[in-house]
Structure 1
Amino acid sequence: MIKVKDAFFVKSASKMEETTPEGMSEVAFIGRSNVGKSSIINALTNKKGLAKSSSTPGKTRLINFFQIVLAKDEKTYHMQLVDLPGFGYARVSHSLKEEWQKNLTTYIQKRVSIRTFVHLIDSRHPFLEIDQAVHTYLQEIVRADQHILRIFTKLDKLKQSEISVIKKNYPCALLVSSSSKKGIDKALEAIFETLFGDQE
Structure 2
Amino acid sequence: MIKVKNAFFVKSASKMEETTPEGMSEVAFIGRSNVGKSSIINALTNKKGLAKSSSTPGKTRLINFFQIILDKDGESYHAQLVDLPGFGYAKVSHSLKAEWQKNLTDYIKKRVSIRVFVHLVDSRHPFLEIDQAVHTYLSEIVRPDQTILRIFTKLDKLKQSEISLIKKNYPDAILVSSSSKKGVDKALDAIFLTLFGAES
Q: TM-score, normalised by structure 2?
A: 0.98
Instruction: Check the 8 A contact 2:192/2:199 in 1, yes or no.
Output: no
Q: Paired residues, what number?
A: 200
Local SS of the residue matching 1:69 = strand
Q: Distance in 1 between matches of 2:196 and 2:6?
A: 17
The residue type paired with residue 134 of structure 2 is V
Local SS of the residue matching 1:82 = strand
The residue type paired with residue 146 of structure 1 is Q
Instruction: Check the 8 A contact 2:176/2:187 in 1, yes or no.
Output: yes
The residue type paired with residue 32 of structure 2 is R
Q: Distance in 1 between matches of 2:181 and 2:56?
A: 24
Q: Distance in 1 between matches of 2:156 and 2:60?
A: 25
Local SS of the residue matching 2:107 = helix
Match of 1:42 in 2: 42
1:131-159: per-residue Cα shift (whole Å, max 9, x none)? 00000000000000000000000000000
Q: Distance in 2 between matches of 1:149 and 1:52?
A: 23
Percent of pairs identical after alignment? 88
Moved segments of 4+, more than 6 Å: none
Give the root-mean-square deviation of aligned CA atoms. 1.1
Q: Distance in 1 between matches of 2:198 and 2:126?
A: 31
* 2:138 paired with 1:138: yes
1:83-124: per-residue Cα shift (whole Å, max 9, x none)? 000001231100000001000000000000000000000000
Q: Distance in 1 between matches of 2:73 and 2:180?
A: 26
Match of 1:124 in 2: 124
Match of 1:187 in 2: 187
Unaligned runs of 5+ in 2: none
Unaligned runs of 5+ in 1: none
Q: Distance in 1 between matches of 2:94 and 2:163?
A: 37
Q: TM-score, normalised by structure 1?
A: 0.98
Match of 1:163 in 2: 163
Q: Distance in 2 between matches of 1:35 and 1:101?
A: 18
Which range moved further: 125-134 or 85-94? 85-94
Q: Distance in 1 between matches of 2:193 and 2:199?
A: 9
Offset of residue 199 of structure 1: 10
Q: Distance in 2 between matches of 1:115 and 1:91?
A: 31
Q: Distance in 2 between matches of 1:158 and 1:199?
A: 29
Which range moved further: 6-15 or 84-93? 84-93
Offset of residue 198 of structure 1: 5.8
The residue type paired with residue 46 of structure 1 is N
